[in-house]
Amino acid sequence: MIDVAITGAAGKMGKTLIQAIAESSALNLTAAIEPPGNPVIGADAGVLAGVGSNGILITDDLRAACESFDVLIDFTIAAATVSNAAICVSENRKMVIGTTGLSESECADLATAAESIPIVHASNFSVGVNVTFKLAEVAASILGNDVDIEITEAHHRHKVDAPSGTAVTLGEVVAAQLDRKLADVAVYGREGATGERDRNTIAFHSLRAGDIVGDHTVTFAGEGERIELTHRAQSRMNFAMGALKAVEFVSGQDSGMFDMQDVLGLKSINL
């Protein structure tokens, strides 16, 4: 059994992860963490997640909890994730990270941490989304510079960053195939007299409404035809199940930075 801790345990993804681990025969929840001052500190994590009492009381002390787990699953915010990674390095604990919206310096901090411990960091842990990444890569390599590329994403009204990390990853995958640097060609929404579209740009459009779990579409539009690759998530459980696959993968690694393409073996598939 792999002993697992969850930071952000009281959040939507945290609760879903607790539910998924409760059904797992390979993983065992041994710690649940929230920031100091959170009113759920001391509550039973299982009760909070709706799976019944599991005896794991939510704590605000990650360092003290390190004695009890092998892998930390972190779906929090950028600053917290970087701080948690520093603790995991000092305590030699492995990590699975789903936090998005990290700055370049924060990504660099995680890369430094990965020199000491293994980390799986992905913008999206869904198996289906990662297949979509692969299909977008193939489409871009075939269609080349003969199409306009637009990426649209939709999420619930509480999501705090835009575009989503998944949308950005789609853009990065496509840009890499076209020998473009995403930072140089990205366009975020349009307003006013924008002029004729530059074929080299990759545009992002974000919707925030209601309780949408997560929709992503990448459109390749040419003359007389277009291809649309769409993934729609109906439940957070598919993200959680992918994260558990990542835990099993990272538990067998000594150090290094990995993503879900590594976990699923998609990098070795040539379509």
Is 159 catalytic? The answer is yes
Helices (H), the chain: 12-22, 45-49, 62-65, 78-91, 104-113, 127-143, 165-177, 182-185, 237-250, 260-264
Dihedral angle, C-alpha 80, 86, 91, 96, nearest 10 °: 60
| Active-site residue, selected from the candidate residues 12, 159, 205, 245 | 159
Q: How far apart are CA 91 and CA 57, in angstroms?
A: 21
Strands 226-233 and 256-258: unpaired
Q: How far apart are CA 29 and CA 8, in angstroms?
A: 14
What residues form DSSP beta bridges with 203? 150, 187
> Which strand ranges, in their side-by-side order, compose the sheet holding 71-74?
27-33, 2-7, 71-74, 94-97, 118-121, 256-258
* Contact (Cβ atoms closer than 8 angstroms) between residue 199 and residue 145: yes
Q: Which residue, chain included where needed, has tokens 């040539």? A: 270
Is 121 catalytic? The answer is no
| Active-site residue, selected from the candidate residues 15, 94, 121, 155 | 155
Catalytic residue numbers?
A: 155, 159
